Amino acid sequence: MSSVKRLFAESSSYFVGNLFVILAGFISFPIMTRIFSPKDYGVFSLAIISISLGVSLAKCGLQHSALRFYSEFNENNHSLDRMSSYYITPIFGVAVVNLMLIGINAVILATLRRHLDGLLLKLIPLIAIIIFIKSLNNLIEVFLRAERRGVFFNVITVLNKYGSLFLSLFIVFFIEHSLSGFFTGMAISEGAILFILLFSYRDKLDIKKISFPFLKESLSFGFPLIWMELANLLLSFGDRYLIEYYMGSSAVGVYSVGYNISSMAQSVLAVPLKLAIIPIYLSVWTKKGEAETRDFLNSSLNYYFLLGIPIIIVLSLLGKDLIDTAATKQYEGASSIIPYIIFPLIVYGGYTIFASGLFIHKKTAIIMHITLIAAALNLLLNVLLIPRLGLTGSALATLIAYLFLVVAIAERSSRYLKLDIRINSIIKYLVLSAGVVYFVSAYMITRPSGVRSLLFRAAAIAILYFAGIIVLERDIREKAMLFMARKAG
């Protein structure tokens, strides 16, 4: 099987699981925006962001090391003891870091208690518990990715998402109608998933096999990436803290609605790519060398833009209808930020390809530096633009910072592995997407409102766009004809 076919096969597996996760997001979205006010939804968003930041710190970059070093352990046929060291060492490291963070968190909480929102303050103990459990879950899930156990990964991911969603909503509706009730359900669900994951690896976890030399090597590789991950989170979510400071929790709630819809749309495509492609191109590099790795990444990037560009166009033009259908009038205005957000998010979704040269050559410090600069740029632009332009200013800051990040990383990565960005194909996809969306919106629906109308337009756009792609792209047309001939034969 070619590397591109492996990417489609494995990313398709992740896509199915991720699609169920995103569906859960679309199920919860209208519920959350109806049971919680914009202020409560804003505090909810800040709590979720705080969990993401805490989990990133707690993992200390060890999840990146687990993914990077698995192929070396596995390809070199290490003994069972050595593989046990591979599994138990990062788990031990993450657990120790978590305990340290709990102590640091207690000191910070005592110092800043007077300056925190009362509702957010009540959630902090639950947030700390979720961070501890979720960081371990995320690490063990990386083991599944490294082993390419996509089906089990999907089962765990979907089970966690829906278990957390339904348990949290059950507690909110029938036991405690508050954000505390929601996060209690999340903590219980995460704990159950951790038990399942540890049980599945019970034969491979031997505390006596903790390897401090391997832990040191893992931290050396992964620690620079923790700052990259934190910077990514600040780049993605730091604006919410500044919006809270300048405009209040209600504004955070409105902004989060527009941002979350854009993020869910991006994750349909970007998350399966991210989960599947890194182990594949590391394996191709190890086994087949630079030339084949470059060809594989060039093809993957072109297919990514083929699928990503219509998402940008569709959400930019139909985002208002989606928000009007899914949320209440309290969240009017959220659609205005979508075009500024979905474009850079989709472009950034190809980051695992753009940065491939840096990952392969273990130049993670470069990624860290660029991402920190981008995060600082985003925060600075938010400080300058929010007082002048409000939520639009924050969205514009996100656009500028993300584009800087992608261009800078792509340029530095190209010094180690130069990729071919096919500009003509990008323009082709852009024109075709815009034309199809305009045609469907202008001529096929006379009263664009309601869920059925949105679903019909989405289906019509998808059919017409891919029909156009088959006509315009010879390579895809030939593959489509070959596939149909095999089915017919």
- CA 114 to chain CA centroid, Å, is 33
Question: In Å, what is the CA distance from 317 to each residue of 188, 238, 307, 311, 433?
Answer: 39, 26, 17, 10, 11
Q: Are 162 and 189 in contact (CB under 8 A)?
A: no
Query: CA–CA separation, 191 vs 185, rounded Å?
Result: 10
Q: How many separate helices (H) and strands (E) can be counted in the chain?
A: 18, 0
The predicted structure's pLDDT at residue 445: 55
Q: Are 215 and 92 in contact (CB under 8 A)?
A: yes
pLDDT of residue 14: 61
Q: Specify the pLDDT at position 193.
A: 93
Nearest to 460 by CA among 448, 475, 472: 448
N- to C-terminal Cα distance for the chain? 21
Q: Which amino acid is at 375?
A: A
How high is the pLDDT of residue 292? 87
List average pLDDT for each run of 10 residues in the chain, which is 489 residues long.
59 65 76 80 85 86 77 60 74 85 71 62 84 91 80 85 90 88 92 92 80 79 75 83 86 88 84 76 82 87 89 85 75 86 91 87 82 92 94 94 93 90 87 88 62 79 87 77 66
Amino acid in position 370: I
CA distances to 105, 121, 178, 181, 185 from 126, in Å: 13, 10, 13, 10, 10
Grouping H, G, I as helix, E, B as strand and the rest as coil, residue 89 is helix
pLDDT of residue 6: 61
Nearest to 416 by CA among 364, 349, 344: 364
Are the C-beta atoms of 93 and 60 separated by less than 8 Å? Answer: yes
SS3 414: coil
Helices 364-389 + 212-247 axis angle, to 10 = 10
**What amino acid is encoded at 142 in this protein?**
V
Is 370 within 8 Å of 408 (Cβ atoms)? yes
